A and B are shown apart, each in its own frame.
Chain A
Amino acid sequence: KAGVTQTPRYLIKTRGQQVTLSCSPISGHRSVSWYQQTPGQGLQFLFEYFSETQRNKGNFPGRFSGRQFSNSRSEMNVSTLELGDSALYLCASSPGGAWNTEAFFGQGTRLTVV
């Protein structure tokens, strides 16, 4: 069974640009969550999607957005990039039928903003 796939693995963007990251969950999983990991703030929850609907949202500015498609694949978008957006972005998938089942993470996308 394939795991969670995140693409691309690495990205370098310039301040002010926008970026789109992709996440393909484990087959059959309907919930996708996104997390930002930085050395200073650690792992922080961005948002969670279930059946194409955002179910939960963390405390991030509106520049961070996401969506989920009917095949459960998810994308997150960051507009007007800032240097502080440099981070490892992790995607997690879970069956989603009930709250708080274990989440399986991808290897992440390393975003560097210069």
Chain B
Amino acid sequence: AQKVTQAQTEISVVEKEDVTLDCVYETRDTTYYLFWYKQPPSGELVFLIRRNSFDEQNEISGRYSWNFQKSTSSFNFTITASQVVDSAVYFCALSPNSGYALNFGKGTSLLVTP
């Protein structure tokens, strides 16, 4: 069985602060895929990143960075110098190699205030 845990339900930060969203996963598969999605109030899930289980390189994209550690089964997401527009619900998801089905965590609601 696969499981994704996002322990942080809500996070509130002041603009320009750095914030890290935690994601811990469980799977018995040796090959799997991890994702992060952003859901703004409009409801549409916006793809942020995909990482396969064999690629543990950290990724940086502008103010966003991801830290994938297989040893701790974690795939954490950091926003540097947060902005009000970053306010949204962020979902971490896991997909097996045997078929296309995203297993989502419960999400972390991020509020960035001016």
> Interface on A for B, CB 8 Å cutoff?
31, 33, 35, 42-45, 48, 50, 55-56, 58, 88, 90, 92, 94, 96, 99-108, 110
Query: In the complex where A35-B102, A100-B97, A103-B102 touch, is A43 in contact with B44 (Cβ < 8 A)?
Result: no
Q: Size class of B's contact patch?
A: 20 to 34
> Interface on B for A, CB 8 Å cutoff?
33, 35, 37, 42-47, 50, 52, 91, 93, 95, 97-107
Contact across chains for B91 and A43 when beta carbons are under 8 A apart: yes
**Residue B43 contacts which of A44, A50, A55, A108 (CB distance < 8 angstroms)?**
A108
Q: List 20 A-B contacts (CB under 8 A).
A: A31-B100, A33-B100, A33-B102, A42-B104, A42-B106, A43-B93, A45-B103, A48-B100, A50-B100, A55-B99, A55-B100, A88-B43, A99-B98, A100-B50, A100-B97, A102-B47, A103-B100, A105-B46, A107-B43, A110-B43
- Residues from chain B with Cβ under 8 Å of A31 in the complex: 100
CA separation between A58 and B105, bound complex, in Å? Answer: 16
Q: How far is the CB of B32 from chain A (nearest CB, A)?
A: 8
